[in-house]
Structure 1
Amino acid sequence: MKAVILAGGLGTRIAEESDHIPKPMVEVGGRPLLWHIMKMYSYHGVNDFIICLGYKGYVIKEFFFNYYRHTADLEISLSTGDHRILNSQSEDWKVTLIDTGPETMTGGRLKRVARYLDNETFCLTYGDGLSDIDISAEINFHRKHGKLATVAAVQPPGRFGVLNMGEHSHVFSFEEKPSDEIGWINGGFFVLEPQVIDYIKGDETSWEQAPLKNLASDGQLAAFQHHGYWQPCDTLRDKRQLESLWEKGQAYWAVWDRR
């Protein structure tokens, strides 16, 4: 099975990082978000990736073009430039890198890579969200219900604490806003049939608008409820939180490396 990763957006909300690199190349634990996402899929047996490039896509191309050597032990002769690979730990991934345009919307990017999907069921996600979602279970769920599309439904943690106040501004309790008050939202991990491409008009189509709305109205969209960890990296605050979890050995999304 293939996984399509949308990696072409500008990432303006984390401009401190993405002014210089694409947002999926923002690093957590010394590795790009994109790498973490691919490791998540690989853990569930998905090793064939189609990456939709846009903003500064050449950075992602260079990362993968040099990945084999960057992850290997090398012996180099500085006088001749000759080198020898001593040991490589590169993942067994097939990576297809497609320039889908700098201004193309998310649905348009997916439509542009349709020819590479081989008319088979595929996964789709964004290049900035980390989770311990059971992708294998979502795929099995998708195959059983028979609809064209499955979206992972998540309940994001509340960002703000709730003050319970009485008379004279007395605070009698403080609690973090529980996630079940927020409701279920699009978690960004999809399993799709190739027919969903027919719901996308062109480059100007946002996947999250008409395609998903029309799939839902046609009875072709099902939700796989994920009750575990989920965190997008939208802001510098998010990045720092993810870094902290990684450094503490609490990177819940790193299902491939339960340290």
Structure 2
Amino acid sequence: MLDRPERLRDYPHALNARGGFMKVVILCGGFGTRIRDVADDIPKPMIPIGNLPIVWHIMKSYSAAGHKDFVLCLGYKSHAVKQFFLNYDIHGGDFTIALGAEKQITHHGEVRHDDWSVTLAETGLNAMTGARIRRIRKYLGDDENFLLTYGDGVSDVDLDALLEFHKSHGKILTVTGVHPPGRFGEIEHANGQVQGFNEKSQTTSGMISGGYFVCRREIFDYLDDREDLVFEVGPVRALVAAGEMMVYEHHGFWQCMDTYRDWSLLRDLWDSGKAPWKSWE
């Protein structure tokens, strides 16, 4: 695996070209209907854990591993995501604003500085996950691989180990398999080779899809621009049938935010200072 000394972590774009740090695609466009009892006026990725949205926590985890180039696939209430990043420096801090023709903002205390590149891509209000991924292809350039995840789940997955595993097998898609309750996409596998992928079924083996994918660019051969293209159904099952999908087993923390109870758990972990996904200072 590529050696990544700390001084190189500040140069993700240079490393992308050499197959090191990768762009991170985050699906942020869904309606999030199952968690409307937490917040109805913002999209799910913007629901706060602490005083910052869950998508920020996800991005901080990737950034801590050196991956600082993000593409966010937007849809429902996309303006809320755009406003957050357009006003990124003012969140969580005090400032004085002088109004008038020459408006000026003076920050007080520490100002948050994350050296990220964030592409905010409108991928359609009603588009399903497969269509959203297909529509951001132009933002990946010639990169051979990219990272893909959902904007509503956090984990302490070892991203370096995940990438090493992905590069070792040469298949098109790697999915991170986790072991929470059985209401998500079950993975059937043998010796790492995925043999079945059943979206939101009752589990039999106990391992389900936790997202945190790594994709080769050949993934786009399995995608088209149909609004109703669900990545986890047609494309993923075609990859399974072709023997082009592998599972990386993660036995640590993973938690999605689908319900009020999920949100309460994540909020309490963060507020108590015991958030397992916090890999940054």
Q: What does the per-residue CA deviation read over 1:110-130, in whole Å, with 9 as the maximum and x for residues that have no partner? A: 000011111311000000011
Q: Is the 8 A contact 1:158 1:182 kept in 2?
A: no
RMSD: 2.0
Q: Is the 8 A contact 1:132 1:228 kept in 2?
A: yes
Answer yes or no: is 1:57 the counterpart of 2:81: no
Q: Is the 8 A contact 2:51 2:92 kept in 1?
A: no
Answer yes or no: is 1:93 the counterpart of 2:110: no
Alignment match, 1:251: 275
State percent identity of aligned pairs.
Answer: 46
Alignment match, 2:169: 145
- Give the alignment partner of residue 16 of structure 1, picking from 23, 32, 37: 37
Alignment match, 2:13: none
1:63-74 to 2 correspondences below 5 Å:
63-70=84-91, 74=95
SS of residue paired to 1:40: helix
Q: Is the 8 A contact 1:17 1:23 kept in 2?
A: no
Give, in angstroms, the shift of residue 201 of structure 1: 2.4
- Give the alignment partner of residue 192 of structure 1, picking from 205, 215, 228: 215
Alignment match, 2:195: none
Aligned-partner Cα distance in 2 for 1:158–1:54: 28
Answer yes or no: is 1:2 the counterpart of 2:23: yes
Answer yes or no: is 1:242 the counterpart of 2:262: no
SS of residue paired to 1:88: coil
Q: Letter of the aligned partner of 1:83 in structure 2?
A: I
Q: Is the 8 A contact 2:68 2:116 kept in 1?
A: yes
Aligned-partner Cα distance in 2 for 1:31–1:93: 16
How many aligned residue pairs are there? 237
Of residues 195-204 and 40-49 in structure 1, the stretch that sits farther from structure 2 once superposed is 195-204
Give, in angstroms, the shift of residue 131 of structure 1: 0.5
Given the superposition, is the C-alpha separation of residues 13 and 242 from structure 1 closer, same or farther in structure 2, using an over 3 Å criterion? same
Give, in angstroms, the shift of residue 21 of structure 1: 0.3
Give, in angstroms, the shift of residue 197 of structure 1: 1.1
Of residues 64-73 and 242-251 in structure 1, the stretch that sits farther from structure 2 once superposed is 64-73
Aligned-partner Cα distance in 1 for 2:205–2:168: 28
Aligned-partner Cα distance in 1 for 2:39–2:29: 11
Q: What does the per-residue CA deviation read over 1:120-152, in whole Å, with 9 as the maximum and x for residues that have no partner? A: 110000000111011111011111111111000
Aligned-partner Cα distance in 2 for 1:93–1:72: 19
Q: Is the 8 A contact 1:242 1:251 kept in 2?
A: yes
What are structure 1's unaligned runs of at least 5 residues?
160-179
TM-score normalised by the chain length of structure 2: 0.79
Aligned-partner Cα distance in 2 for 1:208–1:78: 49
Alignment match, 1:40: 61
Larger radius of gyration: 1
Alignment match, 2:48: 27
Aligned-partner Cα distance in 2 for 1:107–1:3: 16
Aligned-partner Cα distance in 2 for 1:200–1:194: 11
TM-score normalised by the chain length of structure 1: 0.86
Given the superposition, is the C-alpha separation of residues 72 and 93 from structure 1 closer, same or farther in structure 2, using an over 3 Å criterion? farther
